[in-house]
Amino acid sequence: MLKRLFKLLSSRATSAVQDGPLVLPRDQHNISRRDISPGALKIMRILRDGGYEAYLVGGGVRDLLLGGHPKDFDVGTNAKPEQIKRLFRSARIIGRRFQIVHVRMGRELIEVTTFRGHHNAERTDEGMLLRDNVYGDMESDAMRRDFTINALYYSLDGFTVHDYTGGLRDLKNRTLRIIGDPETRYKEDPVRMLRAVRFAAKLGFSIEPKTAEPIFEVGEMLRNIPPARLFEEVLKLFMNGSATATFQLLQEYQLLGHLFPGTDEVLQSGDLHAQGLIEATMTNTDKRIRASKPVTPAFIYAALLWPPVQIRERELAEQMPPNIAHNQAAQEVIGQQLAHTSIPKRFLIPMRDIWDLQHRLAKRHGQRAWRLMDHMRFRAAYDFVLMREASGEKLDGLGDWWTKFQAVDDEERQRMVNNLGREPGAGRNKRRRRRKPRRSDTTPGEQDS
Ligand code: ATP
Ligand code: MG
């Protein structure tokens, strides 16, 4: 089916912009109503019956044309927000800068947006759009969208696909191209730079050179984005199954420093453990998502911020006891981070737990190992140990020890604890450190070789 679409495209001049929209008829694309959610279809029908135009638009059309399964569907219409509200009892207008309407259909939540128009809207001195609520028609709406592949419209009248910006050609060539003048469009909304990286990574598309070029210059305008919005964007960057590729592109386009300045500084210094820890975490996150296992932003943030915490902690430990140094370092790094992305409490607390447990997991004497296993965050903290070891950090075989401890029966667990030898620093004199003797009965991997 995709082949047929692409054959059509190559057989025809696709300079959609000059000649009006390219309209693909039903038999020349692969979108079927069966792949569209019942809620979105119903909303489109109700809007049409109400005398309005309604199209499926955005990521839904893009992903369907690529043969994928969209995670949600957006509807574009010429009905104004108030008119949409009159048609749907469940409709709620949200957003100020960019008003959209959320319509609930059973369990589904569909975003319905009124066509945007051309305008000289309110902007800051730096060119950032303050509001984008001037309305227009489908064509002007297409021009206001971010990337050509996100500006394709699917209609229930004749089941056609409408392309005003060359999005079909770019889909075929696997190219991400911003609509209009790249620098202006990024300045209007700097988050578009993060979206560029996200779509390129997720779809495996290359960023067209002119679309890529201004990112290095304009990147710092991300500092003007409210931390709460950046937090949401960070989730989209790392929780969509392509975190590894996304992270690489964020570094390549020098955007990481505008999101996680502390982390970026450590990575820029060439710290290979830090780079390894974060890459291992991203790879692991992608794997878990592919296996439909849960992932939490707390873990991802724990990994991203751990390197700067470690560095600060080492500095502070020269002046104060280790646990106080850890707490203070954590607080300082979190404080800096909150100026860039917010971290809601429901993630902040588990992130701190994961960090605190890194120290505690090494202390396994007496009944501690059993108690630690009962800790709510044990599993995440243990996974974090594995990530640290995967990055090449030497932890005396701590990960293997815990892997085994969880797998064996109680008797064997007791033996493992007994075999740990004397707890380092258990005596009165904490300053006296003795080298751990090499012993033949050590658990494999436990020796720091
Ligand atoms: P996803 O698969 O992540 O949902 P999406 O393309 O659907 O991708 P949304 O954030 O759901 O992304 O936005 C829906 C559509 O709205 C986009 O496809 C794009 O056309 C438009 N859009 C979203 N954000 C912007 C923006 N910052 N600037 C311009 N257009 C945007
Ligand atoms: Mg979407």
**How many whole angstroms separate alpha carbon 185 and alpha carbon 111?**
23
Look up residue 149 and give its DSSP letter: G
Interval 243-300: pLDDT, tens:
999 999 999 999 999 999 999 999 999 999 999 999 999 999 999 999 999 999 999 9
**Rounded distance from Cα 349 to ligand 2 centre (Å):** 30
Interval 197-254: pLDDT, tens:
999 999 999 999 999 999 999 999 999 999 999 999 999 999 999 999 999 999 999 9
Nearest CA, atom 28, ligand 1: 146
Look up residue 363 and give its DSSP letter: -
Interval 97-128: pLDDT, tens:
788 999 999 999 999 999 999 766 778 899 89
Closest CA to 269 of 311, 316, 320, 222: 311
Cβ of 232 closer than 6 Å to ligand 1, yes or no, is: no
Q: H/E element holding 207?
A: strand 206-207
Does the pLDDT of residue 7 top 80, yes or no?
no
pLDDT value of position 1: 47
**pTM as predicted:** 0.89
List, in sequence order, every residue forming a beta bridge with 105; answer none if it has no partner: 108
pLDDT value of position 394: 94
Q: Which residue from 65, 115, 133, 150 has its CB within 8 A of the most atoms of ligand 1, so it is best to mutate?
A: 150
**Rounded distance from Cα 298 to ligand 2 centre (Å):** 24
pLDDT value of position 2: 52
Compute the CA torsion angle 77, 79, 85, 90 (nearest 10 deg): -20
State the average pLDDT for the chain: 91
Amino acid in position 79: A
List, in sequence order, every residue forming a beta bridge with 175; answer none if it has no partner: 206
Closest CA to 285 of 257, 304, 271, 266: 304
Helix (H, G, I), strand (E, B) or coil at 255: coil
**Rounded distance from Cα 74 to ligand 2 centre (Å):** 6
Among all residues, which ones are annotated catalytic? 72, 74, 146
Work out the average pLDDT over 11-36. Answer: 78
Nearest CA, atom 1, ligand 1: 59
Closest CA to 153 of 2, 10, 43, 21: 21
Work out the average pLDDT over 51-79. Answer: 96
E strands, 78-181, are 92-94, 100-105, 108-114, 152-155, 161-163, 175-176
**Rounded distance from Cα 93 to ligand 1 centre (Å):** 17
Nearest CA, atom 3, ligand 1: 59
Ligand 1 atom nearest 189 alpha carbon: 27
Percent of the chain with pLDDT over 90: 84
List, in sequence order, every residue forming a beta bridge with 112; answer none if it has no partner: 75, 101
Cβ of 160 closer than 6 Å to ligand 1, yes or no, is: no
Cβ of 187 closer than 6 Å to ligand 1, yes or no, is: no
Interval 436-448: pLDDT, tens:
544 443 333 333 3
pLDDT value of position 32: 93
Cβ of 151 closer than 6 Å to ligand 1, yes or no, is: yes
**Rounded distance from Cα 193 to ligand 1 centre (Å):** 12
Cβ of 58 closer than 6 Å to ligand 1, yes or no, is: yes
Interval 113-166: pLDDT, tens:
999 997 667 788 998 988 877 899 999 999 999 999 999 999 999 999 999 999
Ligand 1 atom nearest 74 alpha carbon: 14
